Structure 1
Amino acid sequence: MSRGAGAVLEDSVAEEAVLWMVRLQSGEVASAERHAFEVWLATDPRHAAAFSRIQKGLGAAQSSPWRGRSSAPILQAINAPSGRRTFLRNALAFGGLALSISVLGRTAGVSWPSVDELETGTAERRTWQLADGSHVQLNARSRVATAFVDNQRRLQLYQGELVLDVAKDSHTPFTLRTAQGVISSTGGRLMVRQNADATRLSTLEGSLQLTPGKGPSITIEPQRSVLFNDRVVVEQQAMRKGETAWLSGWLEVRNQPLGEVVDTLRTYRRGIVRLDNSLASLSVSGLYPLDNSDQTLEMLEQQLPIRVNRFGPYWISIERA
């Protein structure tokens, strides 16, 4: 059913919009959070509409009650009893922002939701247990943010690759966001890699729901590997053997372009690894040690018509032999 312009905003959308506005205007926001906001804004048209409504309300009030203030007092209200939360949402829907924030600022009593950023460095793999009992393992040079608030389980993948073991909870789906869409699971195991313009998803155990940012939701069955952009699933196939080899420190590939192999090696090696563009499409198959990139480069040099030139410890140039 469609809603008029003055309708009350949806619960979760209104609350998320307020959280972002308060954080952005508090002066406390870090660059990673600003990037997360931009991703959130682009993920769903309702997000942009809700945020725009808040901005218009602040414009009508001629000033922001949040600017330069700590985000904690206002954000406390988002977790407050349902009566105050309903008041907040209704006020947002009709533009009464200054009044609602003034009242809520005096009555709030709950702290800012817990948001943790987890990341790995070059050649580092690491596992964390999350607040709900789920486990996430990050590949090298990966970064995520987690948030557990209001009976919601959320994770945002900014860069890199992860394996997520989702603690079973049929009432509270775990949502994982990437730059291209949202993945939802009530229990299972999945692997996700953020590429430059697409996301690779593999369902190791259990089925899940995938919703591209501008496309319909679809069910992905177990043991499937899909590549999707913000509109559609570009490809879907059975999982390839060796996709999870990185968990044990190995890179296992079959007919994979050399360019992709080198991209992986870059996350395990400090410095610059330059590849001649004419070599990027060379097909590579084999099992290579991630934790010994020098050995991997030697193996590739023996296997392919390439020459690996070393200029000190931090500069590698791969050229045609």
Structure 2
Amino acid sequence: MHEHAPAQAQVDQAIDWLVKLRFDRPTPRTEQQFQHWLASHPHNPLAWQRVSQLGDELAGLPKDLSRRTLDGSQRQRSSRRDHLKLLALLAVSGSLGWAMREPMGLPQLLADSSTATGERRQWQASDGSHIQLNTASAIDLHYSAGQRQLELVRGEVSLDSNPNDTRPFHIDTRVGPLTTLNGQVLLRENSQGLLLAVRRGAVTLFPTSPSPRQVHSGETVQVGANGSIHAVTLHSDPWGWTDGVLSVQQMPLAEFAAELARYRPGLLRCAPEVANLKVSGTYQLGDTRQILQLLTRSLPVRIDYRTRYWVSIGAA
């Protein structure tokens, strides 16, 4: 686990405090005990920061239902995934506001490491591997004496595994398991399943199946939800974001807008009459507004801002 991430036990404790403080009637003694818990470990405030947002997301539900949802799940000691599915189901069915907000998602909220929209993070894990998270992404990490394990909870991750660590690196994704020994790999969830790019080493797809498939250095493949695998040619460099750039060649403007929208909160629309215009260049992801402005210099388009979070690309 990342050294700055709270342990699952601390997240569970924070959920318990959320029940006591948000959905019960806390006494002065309860509040004093809560402050003592916050100060008792440096990771407790981070666990509380993550979990306290659940109270905001569940605010649209009847108070007693919200409290019993959290408290009941805690008493039953259900698995974290079952717990999160229950919370998400109740929130979606009880409050339309959940579906209308930016899709942060409960699993991402409680993951070991996560990023918000437009945020990117990189660090060196305890085994010496280098990990980078792209925008709106989340992973869980688990190390044991015999193996290393990464779960892609959401979004996109780049893993440069330490080749001096001989433990296999198992990777769990929504399309199935992968494994590598010393690979430098990139994994991105998309509407078709999973995009996998290998820069060094090799990755074995579905290692426990009767017919595992190896992907080698230099290959980029699309893995479908049904297990299909095929090579892909992209209009962009899939590794570009690891250097803080969006690098594209002859990408249709509609596709470019969809890619750029991943790094901006709110809505970014592209009008049909300009959707097929081609975009080429390398753009710094640190300033998406500047990227939009640069488009007006190279293409016959205009940028309309209804609000900061509602932007349209149309014909000039």
Q: TM-score, normalised by structure 2?
A: 0.59
What residue number does 1:177 align with? 172
Asked if 1:209 corresponds to 2:204, the answer is yes
Matched-pair contact (CA < 8 Å) for 1:142–1:158? yes
Q: Greater CA radius of gyration, 1 or 2? A: 1
What residue number does 1:68 align with? 75
What residue number does 1:308 align with? 303
Matched-pair contact (CA < 8 Å) for 2:111–2:138? no
Structure 1 residues 150-159 or 290-299, which shifts more? 150-159
Give the aligned length: 219
What residue number does 2:160 align with? 165
Matched-pair contact (CA < 8 Å) for 1:173–1:184? yes
- 1:69-88 aligned at under 5 Å gives the runs 69-70=76-77
How far apart in 2 are the matches of 1:182 and 1:154?
A: 10
What residue number does 1:63 align with? none
Asked if 1:235 corresponds to 2:240, the answer is no
The change in CA–CA distance for 1:241 and 1:283 in structure 2 (over 3 A counts) is: closer
Matched-pair contact (CA < 8 Å) for 1:268–1:291? no
What residue number does 1:120 align with? 115
The change in CA–CA distance for 1:278 and 1:195 in structure 2 (over 3 A counts) is: farther
- 1:315 positional shift: 1.8
What residue number does 1:92 align with? none
Percent of aligned pairs with the same amino acid: 31
How far apart in 2 are the matches of 1:244 and 1:69?
A: 43
How far apart in 2 are the matches of 1:264 and 1:244?
A: 13
Matched-pair contact (CA < 8 Å) for 1:124–1:141? yes
- 1:1-321 aligned at under 5 Å gives the runs 68-70=75-77, 117-149=112-144, 151-168=146-163, 172-211=167-206, 216-230=211-225, 231-236=227-232, 242-277=237-272, 279-321=274-316
Matched-pair contact (CA < 8 Å) for 1:251–1:290? yes
How far apart in 2 are the matches of 1:69 and 1:313?
A: 44
The change in CA–CA distance for 1:257 and 1:158 in structure 2 (over 3 A counts) is: farther
Q: TM-score, normalised by structure 1?
A: 0.58
The change in CA–CA distance for 1:69 and 1:212 in structure 2 (over 3 A counts) is: same
How far apart in 2 are the matches of 1:217 and 1:211?
A: 5
- 1:222 positional shift: 0.6
Structure 2 counterpart of 1:233, which letter?
A: I
- 1:236 positional shift: 4.4
Structure 1 counterpart of 2:309, which letter?
A: Y
- 1:213 positional shift: 10
The change in CA–CA distance for 1:257 and 1:156 in structure 2 (over 3 A counts) is: farther
Map Cα deviations across residues 55-98 of structure 1 (whole Å, 9 max, x no partner). xxxxxxxxxxx9935579xxxxxxxxxxxxxxxxxxxxxxxxxx
Structure 2 counterpart of 1:145, which letter?
A: D
What is the RMSD computed on CA atoms of the aligned residues? 3.5
- 1:209 positional shift: 0.9
How far apart in 2 are the matches of 1:117 and 1:258?
A: 35
- 1:296 positional shift: 0.8
Structure 1: runs of 5+ lacking an equivalent: 1-26, 33-65, 73-114
Map Cα deviations across residues 105-158 of structure 1 (whole Å, 9 max, x no partner). xxxxxxxxxx95211122221112223222210112211112224623211213
The change in CA–CA distance for 1:212 and 1:268 in structure 2 (over 3 A counts) is: farther
